[in-house]
Amino acid sequence: MSVRPGPTFDALTAELAALAQTSAAEPPVVTRVVFSEADLRARAYVKALCTEAGLSIKEDAIGNTFARWQGSDPELAPIGTGSHIDAIPNAGSYDGTVGVLGGLEAIRVLQRAGFRPQRSIELVTFTAEEPTRFGIGCMGSRMMASVLSSQQALALLDKEGRGLEELRAQAGFAGALESVALPTGSFHQFVELHIEQGPLLEEEGIDLGLVTHIAAPASLRIIIEGEGGHAGARLMPGRKDALAAAAELILALESAAKSSGAIDTVATVGVCEVFPGAVNSIPSRVHLETDIRDTDGARRDSVLNALATACADTAKRRGVRVTTKLVNADPPAKCDPAIVQALETSAREAGRTYKKMVSRAYHDSLFMARIAPVAMLFIPCRGGVSHRPDEYASPEWIAGGVDVLARTLAKLAG
């Protein structure tokens, strides 16, 4: 069994191109927001390919799609693989889609090789990995893992004020939202193929990244209220400048992340809105959005705690009011050593180079890790570029990923 660009593999290249053209924007731009007309056409396309490959298809109440290659022992929990096909506005062709169509190709490679799995293999297409519509990433896998309850999901609205209930019904999905949650053990193991979305593999000339940890973000929203006034008439003693207080907090966060003792700790203030925002007016109110990530939950939370302490300290010292809201704090995931081992053995057998690495972006696998052992397989993408129309993964890189995914699925499914 060998997967190389060539006549057979060209089908996958053509399918990726066809999926990329199923978009609300002109090629090469891909825009495919969940439950949009383009998303529904893309879903139909992928389901048709799965049916053609002899897989049986099930969809849950929000459109998470499971295409099953029945194993010889259908009672056993299946091996899962897959990713997402929704895309943010102005995106490219490979984020998520390589894991879905590449996962399908891995199944077809095994079928062509005459392999018969003992455990069923299920290709999962997750609904709404991107936060574009509902403002929350990985909605489908979050609900599968019971991290997002049906009540919380019902409260989500898109920018036009339309809720999940209306949008899913319009897309043709029905049934109790509670039924989306899957018990632990529903999948024996899960492995996701994905582009790296970073530059390391290409820079180092390595075929594959075997993901050992998936970092997860915590986000704290900070509102600082001071006292405004005339920038000339108000003298420095007694000022309650909200932006000067915010500056202290931004530096306190940077310093907490730098001194965590680990290179994997990162912290960012990506939003700083100043009110009233006039050159001759003392800032009276500042809104900060922070993003703190790590592969280790306790270490990340200690940075979060250091920031909370700095908020209290700055408020007291400067006489400003600081209020915080924890917007989200998903736990990081550690990949399953047995799956990583299977990936490693497969990479060696396939003659592909690999390195172990951390996923710094998060993926559906982060939530699948709550209900099943997971791992991820990364392939290079040109320049580390993602979420842009010029996102690119070569057929050779994709073939490497499919090759090793197929071998791994064969090992896991027995």
> What is the closest distance, in whole angstroms, from the C-beta atom of residue 363 to Zn ion in the complex?
6
Q: Which is nearer to Zn ion, 95 or 330 (CB)?
A: 95
The residues that bridge with 290 in the sheet, in sequence order, are 269
Instruction: Go through the chain and tell me how many residues it has.
Output: 414
Of 15, 60, 86, 95, the one binding Zn ion by CB under 5 A: 95
Cβ atoms of 54 and 69 within 8 Å: the answer is yes
* Residues 6 or more apart whose Cβ sits within 8 Å of residue 287: 221, 222, 223, 224, 271, 272, 273, 275
> What is the closest distance, in whole angstroms, from the C-beta atom of residue 16 to Zn ion in the complex?
14
> What is the closest distance, in whole angstroms, from the C-beta atom of residue 303 to Zn ion in the complex?
25
* Residue 401 engages Zn ion in binding (rule: CB under 5 A): no
> Residue with CB nearest Zn ion?
96
Q: Which is nearer to Zn ion, 99 or 373 (CB)?
A: 99
Half-sphere exposure of 77 (CA within 13 A, CB side): 13
> What is the closest distance, in whole angstroms, from the C-beta atom of residue 350 to Zn ion in the complex?
23
Q: Which is nearer to Zn ion, 226 or 332 (CB)?
A: 332
User: What's the rounded Cα separation, in Å, for the pair 139 and 128?
Assistant: 6
For residue 176, give Cα distances in angstroms to 4, 154, 163.
44, 11, 15
Q: Which is nearer to Zn ion, 95 or 196 (CB)?
A: 95
Interface segment toward Zn ion; rule CB under 5 A; list 33-41, 52-60, 93-101, 228-236 = 93-101
Interface segment toward Zn ion; rule CB under 5 A; list 89-97, 215-223, 247-255, 322-330 = 89-97
Q: Which is nearer to Zn ion, 192 or 241 (CB)?
A: 192
> What is the closest distance, in whole angstroms, from the C-beta atom of residue 157 to Zn ion in the complex?
23
Cβ atoms of 63 and 173 within 8 Å: the answer is yes
Interface segment toward Zn ion; rule CB under 5 A; list 35-43, 87-95, 215-223, 351-359 = 87-95
Specify the long-range contacts of residues 310-313, CB closer than 8 Å, at least 24 apart.
310/248, 310/249, 310/252, 310/253, 310/256, 311/222, 311/249
User: What's the rounded Cα separation, in Å, for the pair 256 and 387?
Assistant: 29
The residues that bridge with 66 in the sheet, in sequence order, are 58, 124
User: What's the rounded Cα separation, in Å, for the pair 308 and 294?
Assistant: 17
* Residue 96 engages Zn ion in binding (rule: CB under 5 A): yes
Q: Which is nearer to Zn ion, 71 or 96 (CB)?
A: 96
| Site size with Zn ion, rule: CB under 5 A | 2
Could you list the residues that contact Zn ion (CB under 5 A)? 95-96
